Structure 1
Amino acid sequence: MLTVCNRAVLPIAILAILMVAVMTGCEEEVGNGELSQGVTEDEILVGSVGPQSGPFAFMGSPYYAGMESYFKTINEEGGVDGREINLKVQDDEFEPDNAISGMETLIYEEEVFAIVGQLGTPGILATMDMVREEGIPSVYFGGGASEFREAGENFFPVQPIYDYEGKLMAEYAIDEFDADELVVIYANDDVGQDGLQGIKTGLEEMGREDALDADREISFNPGDTDFSSQIQLARDQDPDMVLLYALSDDAANILGDFEDASYEVPIMTTYSNTDDSFLEMAAPQAPQVMTELYSLGWLEMDEQALQPLNDAMEEYYPDEPINAYTMAGWVAAETFVAGLEEAGDDLTWDGYIDAMNQLHFTEGLAPEISYEPGVREGVTHMSVSEVVEENGEYRFEQVTDFREFGE
């Protein structure tokens, strides 16, 4: 077997030529075909960058356990066409500079075939130009920034894009909750601004701009600890529903201030908060407010759909929680593998990208994943869940079917 990826000591002129091959996705001769870097007769090496330590490890730990549990399950069944999938993860601690160095390690030193499930919007945005220029396939983002839609032909987002979710959130509020007047409380960052813009676009396309005016767009700065002024502004508007576009601790603290103000109104929040770990943060602060909390979701969470994940986690990672992050990691892995199966023997970067452009995948936890050249929207089918309390325990329960905006 002759490979151009071997970095043994060579004359400088030859080494320079080979470095060009490495930078463009080196190919090796295996059997009767050409394979891109990271692929051998018995292995497909993939990489990811995301937080495994630091304050955001609570996301990364179950996320990568879910991803690994899927790959281990596939490998136990013989892999994909006899090739096992092995994952290398670089810990970026949710820091963009660390994400850049981690991505360089994966592409140029580890020489992975693809990036799978990069986690964290700051790191994804920091490395996007590098990944685009190299042309290496990148499947699934652990984030929903609008820039992901325009990242490039070698990128395949799966999670819903935040501004699209905002459109659907507005539609659900109007159609399912008969809300005539809305208030939006949003983080003054890329996530919150994308969500707000989506809500406004959705209302405009529905002909319901009257449901939200500028006085009802209430912002806060991420990291704030006192939201009493935002709560009072919302109360003064007397809305039929509040749309809360905030993540994690911020969203939980805002709900706590709703509770402190004894202000109960239906609230709908982003899919990023549709998770048991969020309920564990929020419910102690806002036990009454939680009973009027709704959220969007994009995963099939019924018992039958989750059984393969539950079985795999019990076998490989019994000490890790099974939550929305675990499910997201599982979906990242199964989407990548669906692309491998579509590509068949053509495991070059171009071959894999062409296969993903033909993908129409409906067998996983997400209701539908499909792409075509130039279209990178992510999942567009979403449902609404409500928070249900039983014997002091809170859980999300799906209350609508999955649908797209405008259906």
Structure 2
Amino acid sequence: MRISSARKFTPLAVGVAALALILTACSGGGTGGDGDGEVGVTDDTIRLAASQTLSGPGAASCAPSTDAAKLYFDKVNAEGGIDGRMIDFEVIDDAYDPQRALANVRGFIDSKFAMVGACGSATAAAVYKTLSSAGMPFLFPTNGVAEVVKPAAPGVFQILPLYEDQTAALVHYAFEEFGAGSIFVVVNPLGEYESAIERAREAAEKGGGEFAGSAVAQLGTTDYTPIALQIKEAAPDFVVISTGGSDSAKFVNALVDQNALPAKGVLGTSAAVAGSFLNSYNVAAAEHLYLGSATQLPAAPDNECIELLSEGDFANDPIAHIGCASAMGIVQAMRQTSPLTREGLMKTIESWSGEDVSPGVFAPVSFSAEDHIGLATLYIVQPKGSEFNIIAQCPYSEEDSAAGGCTAAG
């Protein structure tokens, strides 16, 4: 009779093998290294990942954030890493496709310690539940969808204010500074863009102004002339925009070309505050622009990130500043967490109150178990040549901005 070469296990052998597996798991196996068997952490490596918009119409605005984050992680590695562990950072393109982003996340959720960033509200909304339910930290995405962080989802932390809160804060600032008036809102479908329109309308009407209308343009729209002509006919006092960097430049240029700039100003969310805007906007519109920024601009020259980026293509790109400053915050959180576990990292970030994660770029950030949005300050900036300059700062929360409280810079 032919005997199979497959190994036969006796009951004793099975028991020994099972015990060996249990002991291996308890010792940390191949994924741990700090005694806790944590996913993506070994004795010498911390594995991070990002699903990012590296191609398609949003790439020019989004890619600099993870490029800058990688530069900072490389700097940390060159200086010895985090307690001797090197940061391995993998960035995977999702082309701003929610289903592709979800596939990316499912591909690395069991091998990476945390997901870093994500430039895009639609992709953040597509992945946050999967990440949160798996206990994988989702750190500091650029996101405009309220449900991702309101109420606070376990493990999901965002530094930047939501677009809907920004539009309300911008209207309050403008009415406080220039008097009430009519507004027209233009958005790309970024996150819950309907909420951004509605919050702007509510803020205008509560402030004694009027809502003159709105328009939605797909991200990557090449010709904004029809919307500019629509605004010229409506003749609002203010135009409020929540559009990507290059789209914002194309829209502003169309307003200039059609002699359709509003009487009092163009108010834009932080989505417009990007190098892709500075590279192509018509400077004739500069004094009409009042844009919300999550970062101090120009940033402090002695900030680690600003020093790191000063010699490259990202020196004046606020999106790159955000990516690098967010990476600084992530490194700070990991250094404060011992042993380094996913759960421990979440508790560390929730304990932050007025934490300076990147002084001179971000205002101090605060989180709690109930609040996973870190910033409470929105800077009002204007473009000047190839950089932005702060002219005021405002609270962005619904309660604080409704009560006023904006202060002039300097």
Same fold (TM over 0.5): yes
Distance 1:241 1:352 in 2: 43
One-letter code of the match for 2:388? Answer: F
Establish whether residue 325 from structure 1 lines up as the match of residue 323 from structure 2.
no
In the alignment, the residues of structure 2 paired with residue 250 and residue 296 of structure 1 have an alpha-carbon distance, to the nearest angstrom, of: 16
Match of residue 132 from structure 1: 132
Kindly report the root-mean-square deviation, in angstroms, between the aligned alpha carbons of the 2 structures: 3.1
**Does structure 1 residue 247 correspond to structure 2 residue 244?**
yes
Shift of residue 155, structure 1, vs aligned partner: 0.3
Greater shift after overlay, 230-239 or 263-272? 230-239
Partner of 2:7: none
Q: Partner of 1:370: helix, strand, or coil?
A: coil
Aligned counterparts of 2:248 and 2:372: Cα–Cα separation in 1: 28
- Determine the C-alpha separation between the residues in 2 that align with 1:281 and 1:211: 32
User: Equivalents in 2 of 1:96, 1:149: separation in Å?
Assistant: 18
Q: CA deviation at 1:170?
A: 1.4
Aligned to 1:7: none
Separation of aligned partners in 1, 2:83 and 2:270? 35
Q: 1:95 aligns with which of 80, 97, 105?
A: 97
| Equivalent AA in structure 1 for residue 287 of structure 2 | T
Separation (CA, whole Å) in 2 of partners of 1:29 and 1:131: 19
Deviation digits for residues 76-111 of structure 1, max 9, x if unmatched?
A: 332222322221111112222321221122113xx1
Find out whether 1:309 has 2:305 as its counterpart.
Answer: yes
Report the CA distance between 1:203 and its aligned residue: 4.5
- Give the equivalent residue in structure 1 for 2:270: 271
Amino acid at match of 2:116: V
2-structure distance, mates of 1:239, 1:29: 59
CA distance in 1, matches of 2:56, 2:231: 34
- Select the residue among 348, 352, 364 that pairs with 1:359: 352
Corresponding residue of 1:162: 163
Q: Residue 8 of structure 1 corresponds to which residue in structure 2?
A: none
Instruction: State the TM-score, normalizing by the size of structure 2.
Output: 0.80
Partners of 1:292 and 1:262 lie apart in 2 by 13
* 1:219 equivalent in alignment to 2:215: yes
Amino acid paired to 1:357 = E
Counterparts in 2 of 1:8-407, with a 5 A limit?
30=33, 33-108=35-110, 111-150=111-150, 152-187=153-188, 190-203=191-204, 207-208=206-207, 210-213=208-211, 216-222=212-218, 227-228=224-225, 230-265=227-262, 266-283=265-282, 287-305=283-301, 307-313=303-309, 318=312, 322-343=316-337, 345-360=338-353, 361-364=355-358, 365-388=361-384, 393-401=385-393, 403-405=395-397, 406=400, 407=405
State the TM-score, normalized to the length of structure 1: 0.81
The Cα shift of 1:116 comes to 0.9
3-state SS of 1:382 partner: strand
Match in the other structure for 1:4: none
Cross-structure match for 2:9: none
For the structure 1 residues 173 and 240, does the alpha-carbon distance in structure 2 shift closer, same or farther, using more than 3 Å as the test?
A: same
Q: 1:201 to 1:340 in 2, by over 3 A?
A: farther
User: 1:296-329, CA deviations, whole angstroms, 9 ceiling, x for partnerless residues?
Assistant: 11112335356422432368xx466651221121
Q: Can you list the C-alpha shifts for 1:276-312, whole angstroms capped at 9, x where unaligned?
A: 32132332xxx42343122111112335356422432
Give the secondary structure class of the aligned counterpart of 1:167: helix
For residue 10 of structure 2, what is the aligned residue in structure 1?
A: none
**Consecutive unaligned residues in structure 1, runs of 5 or more:** 1-10
Question: Offset of 1:189 from its aligned partner?
Answer: 5.9
The amino acid across from 2:330 in the alignment is: F
After alignment, is 164-173 or 144-153 more displaced?
144-153
- Report if aligned partners of 1:179, 1:241 keep a CA contact under 8 Å in 2: no
Rate the CA distance shift 1:306–1:202 in 2: closer, same or farther, 3 A.
farther
Q: Which moved more, 1:176-185 or 1:365-374?
A: 176-185
Summarize the Cα distance change of 1:321–1:54 in structure 2 as closer, same or farther, 3 Å threshold: farther
User: Contact 2:163/2:242 (CA < 8 Å) preserved in 1?
Assistant: no
Deviations 1:56-92 (A, max 9, x none): 3323442222101211222233222232222111111
Q: CA deviation at 1:49?
A: 0.6
Q: Determine the C-alpha separation between the residues in 2 that align with 1:155 and 1:366.
A: 19
How far is 1:154 from its partner?
0.9
Alpha carbons 2:46, 2:86 under 8 Å: kept: yes
Question: Could you tell me the percent identity over the aligned residues?
Answer: 21
The one-letter code of the counterpart of 1:333 is A
Give the letter aligned to residue 272 of structure 2: N
- Secondary structure in structure 2 of the residue aligned to 1:179: coil
Check whether the contact 2:51–2:93 (CA below 8 A) recurs between aligned residues. yes
Q: What one-letter code is carried by the residue in structure 2 that aligns with 1:313? A: L
Distance 1:385 1:314 in 2: 20
Conserved in 2, the CA contact under 8 Å of 1:27 and 1:36? no
1:188–1:219: 8 Å Cα contact kept in structure 2?
Answer: no
Distance between the aligned counterparts of 2:249 and 2:299, measured in 1? Answer: 27
Superposed displacement of residue 135, structure 1: 1.3
| Residues 133-161 of structure 1 deviation map (CA, whole Å, 9 limit, x = unaligned) | 21111101133222222361110011221
CA contact 1:139–1:156 (8 Å) conserved in 2:
yes
> Relative to structure 1, is the Cα distance of residues 322 and 255 closer, same or farther in structure 2, using a 3 angstrom cutoff?
closer
Q: Which moved more, 1:111-120 or 1:48-57?
A: 48-57
Alpha-carbon distance, 1:273 to partner: 0.9
- Alpha-carbon distance in 2 for matches of 1:28, 1:335: 24
CA change 1:387–1:136 in 2 (3 A) is same
What's the offset of the Cα at 1:366?
A: 1.2
Looking at structure 2, the residues matched to 271 and 130 of structure 1 have their Cα atoms a distance apart, in angstroms, of 27
CA distance in 2, matches of 1:292, 1:127: 38
Q: Is 1:346–1:352's contact at 8 Å kept on the other side of the alignment?
A: no
> Does the residue aligned with 2:141 lie in a helix, a strand or coil?
strand
Question: Is the CA contact 1:188–1:220 (under 8 Å) kept in the aligned structure 2?
Answer: yes
String of CA shifts for 1:148-200, please: whole Å, max 9, x gaps.
22361110011221111122111111112323333323346645323212323
Amino acid at match of 1:341: R
Cα gap change, 1:188 to 1:275, in 2 (>3 Å)? closer
- AA aligned to 1:373 is A
Q: CA separation in 2, counterparts of 1:193 and 1:305?
A: 38
